[in-house]
Structures are given as C-alpha cells and as structure tokens.
Structure 1
C-alpha cells in the first residue's frame, strides 16, 4: 500500500536563482496526483527533491516519519527503496538488455536467486506489454518502448510510491491514452501513491485524484481534481483549460503591458469546459480512492460547468503484450 508524503515550506534555488519557495502540500496515500506547470517552473526539480536526489534549501519532506530533506545517507538509502521513479527518457543502461535493466534493482538490493528474479522480471515485462523484447538493447527499441521498460524497472521492487517525470513526453495521443490506462490500472493493483509530472492537459483532467500547479516560484494550487477544474483562480483556470487569456505568456509570465492590453480589450474568458469523468480501471472495479462524480462540488456548494460528469469518452481495454509488445511507439 502507498504512504502519505507531507511537504512543508520547501524552498529550492540554484546559484541564488529561486526555483520555488515555501511549497507546502500533502500527497494522499494510495491516490494519483498530478503536478503541472509551465516549462521551467521546477516540476522535475520537485520530484528530485522528493526522492532525495537534490537537497532543498529549506523545508521538510516527511515519508512515514522520515524527513528526506534532512536525514543522513544511510536513512535516505533505506527510504529510497520505497520509491519507484520513471524518468523522462527511461534512463536505461545502454549496454544492458531490457531484461537486465529491469533485473538490475533486484540484483542490487535483494538476495533473490536468479530463478526468483526471472519470475519477477518477466511478470513486470508482461505487465507493461514488452514480452518478446526482453533481450533487445535500448537502442533497438522505440522511445515509447524504452519508457515502458523504465516503468517495468521502476515497479520491480513493488514500491509504495511511484514518481513519473513526464511519462507522456514524445508519445502520440494513442500511446498516451494506453499509458494513462496502464497507470490507473497499476494504481488499483498496487495501491501505491502515484505522483505524475506532465504537460498533458487531458491527462490532468481525467487521470488524477488530485492536481497541483507550480507557477512563478510558488505552488499556485493543490487539491482534489474537481476543485481545480472548477477553479476561477486565473493561472489555474488558464493552464487547465489551455487558454491564452490569463497571466501565463509565451515566456512564462506576461508583463504588465501585456496584461493591461488584455484587460483593455475586454476579452471575455470562455466558459469552463465540462468536467470529464475520471478514467476507470480496465477491469471494471472501482479506483482505490473512488468518489462519486460531483461529490466535492456538492459538499462545497460549487456548481460544476454544464455537461460535467457525463460519459462522453470511450473506455479502453486492458493493455496486453499482444497489443503493444512489438509495435512502434
């Protein structure tokens, strides 16, 4: 099962340049959360701080009583084994086959026999649809397949926390849809805590239980999906609905002249689009943190946009090795 991650007053800078300051949030145990933000706002830096690859300037990151931001190397090493991380490019060892890449954490961190390792590795390889490609080198498979191989490796120690750094970058919409379904299915099967960094607005609107947005050196918002998709806060509304009107410009933040010109034009914001239903596990069972559609809105007296929570998107069948194992992606 997953564990809660509690972040308090986290601040990070490089050479005097602040990335973000005083970030405070709680990532609920066992749920899927998404972290959004314009390019350059420090989303990947945030993930690296969570897993202890970077030390923040100030603040705390509590995982089951352990403060990753301040603990020693021995304690950090033990806590890291509770994480699985899927990096943007898969971060595979180029000289190792897919099989050996996935087996690497088991050989490094356990005393399992090669027979036991093979059973676990092949289970994870099948889970991500790569059966038949296990003996290939990373250079011999496509970018999408390398991502899935990286995902299999991240899952091989059955982590309680999974971090995904832009898993959909470089993927076409169809492969992104299959990957999103796989993430939802894995969350249901493992009960682990998932945090996804992404730029894909459709992913952010349909996959998570919670949404966060980093912008202009701070955390603009973090909370339940429905709260964020109903938000009238300008930067949250603009980003989640892919609108040009708002404080975000081509170079992250619009200057005063741009904002003044926008206000003078009396341009009206388009209405908020309907809130879609959450993507459901392909086996038909409820998500671990399933809530009735519209529950947050009803509890907080918020009227959702017209047409919200209506089934308008098709469901996807389970991802299988036959469907994804050898084709390009």
Structure 2
C-alpha cells in the first residue's frame, strides 16, 4: 500500500534564481500522478526535493508524519527507504552488470543472503522483461533496456512510493507505450504511490489518476485527470492539448507582442478525453475512477466523443 505525500507552501531557489514558489499539493496514497510543465520549470528539482536530495527554502514535505524538509539525517535515511526512483538515464553503474546493478540496494540496505537476493532480483527483472540480460553491462544494451533495468532496481526494496523522472525520455513511441502499460500494471500489483515527471502528452492523457502542471514559477493546477483535460485554463488547455495558441511560447512565456497578435483567434476545440489505460489483466486498479465520473459529479460537460473506447490516440489524433 502506498503512502500519501503532502506538500505545503514549497519554495525553492538557486541563488537569486527562483525555481518555483508556494507549491502545495497532496499526492494521494496508491495513486498514479503526472507532473507536467515546459522545459526549465523545475520538475526534476521538485522530485529531488520530495526525496530530500535538495532542501527547499521554505515549506514542508510530510510523509508518514515526518517533514523531510526539516528532519534529521537519520530520519531522512529511514524515510528514503520508502522510495524507489527511476532516473532519466537509468543511472546504472557502468562497471557492473545489470544483475549487480539491480542487487545493489539489497546489498546496501538489507541483510539478505545472496540466494534471497537472487530470488528478488530475478523476480524484478522478470517483471520488467529483462530475464536473460542480467550479465550484460549497461553500455551493451539499448536506452529502453537501461530504463527497464533502472525500474527493476527501483523496485527491489518494494517501495511504497515510486518516482519516475522523464521515463519516456529518449524512447520511441512504441517503447513509451510499453513503459506506460508497465507502470499501470505495476501500480495494480503493488499499489504504490507513483509520481511521473514527463513531457509526453499521450502519457499524461491516458495513464495517471491525477495531473499537475508547473508553469511560470508556480503550480498552475493539480487535480483529477478529467478536471485538467476539460479545463479552460489557458496554460493547462494549451499544454495538455498541444496547441500553439496560449501563453506558452518557445521561451517559457510569450512576450506581449506575441500575445497581442493572437487576440481574436479562435481556440481549437478541446479534444475528446480518452479512456484511461487499464491494467493488462483487465481488472481496474484500486484508485481507478469510472470514466466520466469526475465530470458528472462536478457538472462539467466533457468534449464530444470523450471516453469512447475506440477513440484513436495515435500521433496527431489531438
């Protein structure tokens, strides 16, 4: 069972450069959340702050009653055992084969025998489809395989929270689809709390229970998937629906002249909200909501064609 992450008034800067200010959100226990935002908005900084690798200037990150922004190093060390992290490039030790990379956390943090470690490592490698590749070095395999090896390593301590830092970075659309399905299947199996940082709009529209958007040094919105996918908030609508019209430009914000030139232009209609990705076994996850439930409960009319099981999510479908 996953655990809740409660973030309150979080502010982080590097010197005089403010990254984001007064970020508050609750990542619900056992649910899948996605954090989006234009490049340079501090999404990876947020992940590092949640695990205590970076200290915020202000605010709190409370996990199981412990504020990791102000706790002792000893308490932080214990809280970190709840986490598994998949870094952008897999973060493999180049001189170790995949087996030893995956086994590393077990050897560092447990007193398991080598036979017990082998059983756990092979279980996780089978989970991510890497059985038979355990003797290979990271430099001998593809980027997608390194990502899966990194995920196996993130799972060996049976974490209650799993953080994914741009898991689709460098992957082709097919491998990204396989990885998305794997994330959903893992959540169904282990019920861990999952937070994914990504730029992939298809991932954001089909995988999570909740979506957040960092923009212009603040959290623009965070909430249920259907809330953001039906939002008329300009920056949310523009980013989630891959539209050119809106406040985001090639640099994070469009200048006044660009915004002025867009006045009077009609925004494209919101695309249909797709069905959420189901686990491979077809059994709904604990946190998975009935399609359209949030819209009905909040009196929101979803875009025409929403929740059609046959709706294409191929590139260019929205």
Matches within 5 A, 1:65-84: 65-84=65-84
**1:295 and 2:293 matched:** yes
1:112–1:61 Cα change, 3 Å: same
**1:282 and 2:280 matched:** yes
Structure 2 counterpart of 1:222: 222
1:288 shift after superposition: 1.5
1:180 shift after superposition: 0.2
Matches within 5 A, 1:16-27: 16-27=16-27
* Aligned equivalents of 1:314, 1:259: Cα separation in 2: 32
* Aligned equivalents of 1:183, 1:282: Cα separation in 2: 11
Structure 2 counterpart of 1:306: 304
Structure 1 residue runs of 5 or longer lacking an equivalent are 316-329
1:200–1:135 Cα change, 3 Å: same
SS of structure 1 residue aligned to 2:151? helix
Displacement over 3 Å in runs of 4+: none
Does 290-299 or 210-219 show the bigger shift?
A: 290-299
Structure 2 counterpart of 1:161: 161
SS of structure 1 residue aligned to 2:19? strand
SS of structure 1 residue aligned to 2:261? helix
Question: Any idea what the Cα deviations from partners look like across 1:234-290, whole Å, max 9, x if unmatched?
Answer: 000000000000000000100111111111xx2110000000000000011111112
1:314 shift after superposition: 8.3
Question: Any idea what the Cα deviations from partners look like across 1:40-89, whole Å, max 9, x if unmatched?
Answer: 00000000000000000000000010101111100000000100000000
1:313 shift after superposition: 5.4
SS of structure 1 residue aligned to 2:152? helix
Structure 2 counterpart of 1:47: 47
TM-score w.r.t. structure 1 length? 0.94
What value does the CA root-mean-square deviation take over the aligned residues?
A: 1.0
* Aligned equivalents of 1:118, 1:55: Cα separation in 2: 36
Question: Any idea what the Cα deviations from partners look like across 1:110-137, whole Å, max 9, x if unmatched?
Answer: 0000000000000000100011110010
One of 243, 268, 271 as aligned partner of 2:269: 271
* Aligned equivalents of 1:262, 1:269: Cα separation in 2: 10
* Aligned equivalents of 1:75, 1:25: Cα separation in 2: 22
* Aligned equivalents of 1:113, 1:9: Cα separation in 2: 44
SS of structure 2 residue aligned to 1:248? coil
SS of structure 2 residue aligned to 1:179? helix
Question: Any idea what the Cα deviations from partners look like across 1:296-315, whole Å, max 9, x if unmatched?
Answer: 00011000000000102589
TM-score w.r.t. structure 2 length? 0.97
Matches within 5 A, 1:1-329: 1-263=1-263, 266-312=264-310
Does 218-227 or 280-289 show the bigger shift?
A: 280-289
Structure 2 residue runs of 5 or longer lacking an equivalent are 314-318
SS of structure 1 residue aligned to 2:145? helix
* Aligned equivalents of 2:206, 2:135: Cα separation in 1: 35
* Aligned equivalents of 1:300, 1:86: Cα separation in 2: 35
Between the two proteins, the alignment pairs up a number of residues equal to: 313
* Aligned equivalents of 1:228, 1:129: Cα separation in 2: 33
* Aligned equivalents of 1:79, 1:290: Cα separation in 2: 27
